[in-house]
Amino acid sequence: MDLQFTRHRRLRQSANMRALVRENFLRKEDLIYPLFIVEGEQVKNEVPSMPGVFQISMDQLHAEMDEIVALGLTSVILFGVPNSSDKDATGTGAYHNHGIVQRATRYIKGQFPNVIVIADTCLCEYTDHGHCGVIEGGNVLNDPTLDLLAKTAVSQAEAGADIIAPSNMMDGFVAAIRKGLDEAGYTEVPIMSYAVKYSSSFYGPFRDAADSTPQFGDRKTYQMDPANRREAMREAQSDMEEGADFLIVKPALSYLDIIRDVRNEFNAPVVAYNVSGEYSMVKAAALNGWVDERAIVMEKLTSMKRAGADLIITYFAKDAARWLSE
Ligand code: PBG
């Protein structure tokens, strides 16, 4: 046989040989687990569109955190779900010092001081209209919203949040929050910016979980058009200039090209947000017995690492941590 060709299969011939040449890995430290905290007592509501994900009240937090820590996870991101009667036009619940995220943060940092608490900083869960900012004549106003975001971030830092994660896509939100934090003395609290956040249909199940569906219109005037790639670079660049410490790309799976672009262009840690719809689709298929859930989830998460993500916010964090231990 005098054919000339390369024998790629040499490096695939056994499990140990494949392990020797593996290029990308998932670590428990890469995984950030989202928690939905609701008012009330003894609440543990499974989100119908997200099997395995629960809204929990403060009294369930200890057990939840025990489990998270035992699995070897090191960070959580907190979303507050206030009572609808506590919502108002300007989302005051977001920046109360007794707001739900502030209380949950204080509790976790008191009981589990080593866990990294990331506070999602947005208004949509706290406004009665469900938009991420102040409304006037059906428009979401940019600049007046910035003050409220800065106030929210400062109150979260005051409560002990380790990282502030603004997700609302107003222009200048990183600059406003950085200034607010610095003036309040929180110069060491980093900002994990949702720098590149698309107006995505994959957020549907989250809006059930967080009760944050807009009551009119959509978020297309502030979140990005899924068709755009270069615009992602402009968004990431301005956030870097304004002082972002981490860059989030969201969603993850349909946007692996964007994760790679951001990785190549910027040196900040890149975070992929593996969003609710991406979770629900796998769960639905798995519950029907159509796919091997464990294999699919590990392949997806590893693909995000391969695309260039350093960290992944994912509802699969607990499952993946369990599988990584086995
Ligand atoms: C709040 C926010 C959203 C998500 C995270 N923070 C929803 C939205 O923009 O409507 C979505 C997360 C997910 O789908 O898992 N602005």
Among 40-44, 218-222, 251-255, 300-304, the range scoring the smallest mean pLDDT is: 218-222
pLDDT band for 210, please (50, 70, 90 cuts): confident
- Residue 11 lies inside a defined structural domain of this protein: no
Mean pLDDT of the 230-257 span: 98
Mean pLDDT of the 308-318 span: 98
Measured in Å, residue 251 CA sits from the centre of ligand 1 at 9
Q: How far is CA 169 from CA 17, 180, 186, 247, 285, in A?
A: 45, 17, 22, 13, 32
Q: Is 250 a catalytic residue?
A: yes
Residue of 49, 124, 125, 248 to test ligand 1 pocket, by largest number of atoms within 8 Å of CB: 124
* CA–CA separation, 326 and 320 (whole Å): 10
Percent with pLDDT over 70 in the chain: 100
203 CB within 6 A, ligand 1: yes
Measured in Å, residue 196 CA sits from the centre of ligand 1 at 12
In terms of pLDDT, which residue wins out, 44 or 210? 44
Atom of ligand 1 nearest to the CA of 205: 14
Residue 172: which CATH number?
3.20.20.70
- Residue 126 lies inside a defined structural domain of this protein: yes
Beta bridge partners of 197: 250
- Residue 12 lies inside a defined structural domain of this protein: no
pLDDT band for 181, please (50, 70, 90 cuts): very high
- Residue 85 lies inside a defined structural domain of this protein: yes
Measured in Å, residue 223 CA sits from the centre of ligand 1 at 11
Instruction: Name the residue with the closest Cα to ligand 1, atom 7.
Output: 203
Mean pLDDT of the 292-306 span: 98
30 CB within 6 A, ligand 1: no
* CA–CA separation, 105 and 164 (whole Å): 12
- Residue 10 lies inside a defined structural domain of this protein: no
- Residue 261 lies inside a defined structural domain of this protein: yes
- Residue 2 lies inside a defined structural domain of this protein: no
Counting other chains too, the contacts that 42-49 makes at CB distance below 8 Å and 24 or more residues apart are 47/205, 47/208, 47/209, 48/208, 49/204, 49/205, 49/208, 49/209, 49/276, 49/280
pLDDT confidence of residue 209: 87
Q: pLDDT, tens digit, for every residue of 124-144?
A: 999 999 999 999 988 999 999
Full residue range of the structural domain in which residue 106 is found:
24-325
Q: How many CB atoms lie within 10 A of CB 102?
A: 25
Instruction: Name the residue with the closest Cα to ligand 1, atom 8.
Output: 203
Q: How many residues does the chain have?
A: 326
- Residue 5 lies inside a defined structural domain of this protein: no
How many independent structural domains does the chain possess? 1
Phi, psi of 75 (to 5 degrees): -145, 150
Q: pLDDT, tens digit, for every residue of 96-105?
A: 989 999 999 9
36 CB within 6 A, ligand 1: no
If 0-12 CB within 10 Å is exposed, 13-18 middle and 19+ buried, where does residue 278 land? buried
